[in-house]
Chain A
Amino acid sequence: MAICAFLVAGFAIAIMLILRGTENSLRLANDRLGADIIVVPEGTTTKVETALLMGNPTEVWMPESNLAKIAAIPGVAAATPQLYLSTLNNASCCSVASMFLVAYDPETDFAIEPWLESTIGRGLSLGEAVGGTYVFVPEGEQNIKIYGYFVTLKANIEPTGTGLDQSMFLTFETAKDIARLSPELALQPLIIPEDSISSVLVRLAPGVDPMSISAEIIRQVPGVTPITSPNMFQAYRQQMNGLLASILLVLGITLVLSGLMIGLVFSMAANERRRELGVLRAMGATRNFVLRSLLLEASILALEGGLAGITFTVLVIFLFRNLIMRSFGFPFLLPDPGLLLIEISVGLLLALVCVTLAAMIPAYRISHMEPALAMRE
């Protein structure tokens, strides 16, 4: 019975943790991007979302002139361009293989500069960069080598559970300097097409409707797709919803099967003690007392099994979070302790309810048996 509670509670908490962890991660990534609308070249939405969420590098381009057109739309408070680049794979001129690089314009940026100001007290200079939480300088080296160019890592951003954790942020000036020197320093040159940018981050004036500005961007700037903040990572959210439906089905089946199993095991265990329970009744114990004792026993077993299942599952998910993230292809970040406690309570409650309900029928049957009959058989 405790094993069934272990499974029910463990499975429930695993589902809640993974779904919450993914949602948490998507929200943090959205906050980190800090834009109300992201404008990307038409047809590249999924590519850009995958790059930002999973850190798979992508290179998409659109004319730089789009920036001025977008900035001129009434209701747009600020617009800043970004370049999406990547390091080379398995090349000695790059310390880190296939890393997603985001170059920003410090003059117009509103997403990364404010964070830098609060962390290192100033913006980035030429040859400097900030990295996601998993970006580090290789052992025995002073800097990170990108296309043979030495970049100094100034700080690391807090974890988001997304590809941003494995991405590096640098200024336009640094990116263009790397591109200029790469033909001499690297195995392959870094190519940034003339007058091109990868995306435009848009911040809206207060009270402006993002949907109307999106429609205006589509009307005035051909060849681009605006993604409003609530719709960001929509493809992932839809995938998650699809997964949620299947997972809920499996959880339902597990609950029913566990309920049946618990009922059967409890019925057998109670039958074994029929004589003892009969003696108890003959000595004056009420039916209600016997019923409550049996249900209390089931509840204690459920709590023990549930707690063990939850502890084990939380531990396994915490330890294997990177493997889970890579295997499922979803971003993942553990929820904060308060939310985790609520989820643990829900999992425990589910195990308790499932076990108590399943034990109810056999407990009721045994407790309502005539003492003489129970003792004789």
Chain B
Amino acid sequence: MKIIGAVLIVLSLVVAIAPMFTDCQSQGKAIVLENGKTVPMKCHWSGVAELMVAVPLFVLGIMFLVNNNRMVFRNLSILGMILGIIIILIPTNLIGVCANPEMICSSVMRPILILCGILVVVASSVGLWLSFKKQDQPV
């Protein structure tokens, strides 16, 4: 369980930090309006939303490290799975990234976030499985 906690903490850091260097804004690209002002592209807002998901995931990882109660692990694992799914949905369905496949947000940021989301779901699923396994032994 401690290992799962450490994995979730690392993944939460990747989810929080990766968009800062791989969204279009980090490459100096923005939408230029008719009046000359610039606004960030939607991949930037996906990155901001991912940061907001990464924070509870980080806390969840720490709780995995400091807890010993099987029921708590079970609940944390379920929460981790939900957060993992949200991490996947933000750049794919909820907000999205730029449509051009050549843009860095589409070719790098989105795959990193989807991969991290899948790993969070897998790690949480393992946690859930372990919390049900060997009821008589400490986790």
Stretch at the interface among A145-153, A186-194, A231-239, A317-325: A317-325
B55 at the interface (CB under 8 A from A): no
Closest residue of chain B to A319 (Cβ to Cβ) is B111
Q: Across the interface, do A326 and B102 meet the contact criterion of CB distance under 8 Å?
A: yes
Q: Is B108 an interface residue (CB 8 A)?
A: yes
The residue in chain B whose Cβ has the minimal distance to the Cβ of A327 is B107
A139 closest partner in B (C-beta): B99
The verdict on A134 contacting B115 (CB below 8 Å), with A322-B106, A323-B107 known, is no
Chain A interface SS verdict (over half) = helix
A316 CA to B112 CA, complexed, in Å? 9
Q: A320 vs B111: C-alpha distance in the bound complex, in angstroms?
A: 6
Interface status of B118 (Cβ within 8 A of chain A): yes
* Bound-complex Cα distance A226 to B102 (A): 32
Q: Does chain A have a CB within 8 A of B138?
A: no
Task: Select A326's contact among B99, B100, B107, beta carbons within 8 Å.
Answer: B107
Q: Which of A306-320 contact B (CB under 8 A)?
A: 315-316, 319-320
Q: How many residues of B contact A (CB 8 A)?
A: 12
In the assembled complex, which residues on chain B have CB atoms less than 8 Å from the CB atom of A323? 107-108, 111
Chain A: CB-nearest residue to B100: A134
Let me know if A319 and B102 touch, CB within 8 A.
Answer: no
Pick the residue among B100, B101, B115 that contacts A319 (CB under 8 A). Answer: B115
CA distance A316 to B115 in the complex (A): 7
B-chain residues with CB within 8 Å of residue A96 when the two chains form the complex: 100
Query: In the bound complex, what is the Cα–Cα distance between A139 and B118 (angstroms)?
Result: 29
Give the distance in Å from the alpha carbon of A36 to the alpha carbon of B105 in the complex.
39
Chain A residues with CB under 8 A of B118: 315
Task: Classify chain A: how many residues form its interface, as a range.
Answer: 10 to 19
What 1/0 flags go to B92-108 for Cβ under 8 Å of A?
Answer: 00000001111000111
**Cα A61 to Cα B22 with chains together (Å):** 39
Q: Could you say which of A139, A166, A315, A322 contacts B107, with CB atoms under 8 Å apart?
A: A322
* A175-210 interface bits toward B, Cβ cutoff 8 Å, 1 = contact, 0 = none: 000000000000000000000000000000000000
Q: Which residues of A contact B102 (CB under 8 A)?
A: 166, 322, 326
CB neighbours (8 Å) of B99 from chain A are 136, 139
**Which B residues are CB-close (under 8 A) to A319?**
110-111, 114-115
- Contacting B101 at CB < 8 Å: which of A139, A315, A316, A322? A322
Render A117-148 as a binary contact track against B, CB cut-off 8 A, 1 for contact.
00000000000000000101001000000000
Quick one: which of A139, A315, A319 has the most chain B CB within 10 A?
A319
CB proximity of A192 to chain B, nearest CB, Å: 26
Q: How far is the CA of A134 from the CA of B98 in the complex (A)?
A: 12
Contact A315 B115 (CB under 8 A): yes
Shortest C-beta distance, B26 to chain A (Å), equals: 16
CB distance from B34 to the nearest CB of A (A): 11
With the chains together, A320 CA to B104 CA distance in Å? 11
- Chain A's nearest CB lies how many Å from the CB of B41? 10
Q: List 27 A-B contacts (CB under 8 A).
A: A96-B100, A134-B100, A134-B101, A136-B99, A136-B100, A139-B99, A166-B101, A166-B102, A315-B115, A315-B118, A316-B115, A319-B110, A319-B111, A319-B114, A319-B115, A320-B107, A320-B108, A320-B111, A322-B101, A322-B102, A322-B106, A322-B107, A323-B107, A323-B108, A323-B111, A326-B102, A326-B107
With A320-B107, A322-B101, A323-B108 given, name 15 new contacts (CB 8 A): A96-B100, A134-B100, A136-B99, A136-B100, A315-B115, A316-B115, A319-B111, A319-B114, A320-B108, A320-B111, A322-B102, A322-B106, A323-B111, A326-B102, A326-B107
Shortest 3 CB-CB contacts between residues of A and residues of B = A319-B111, A322-B107, A323-B107
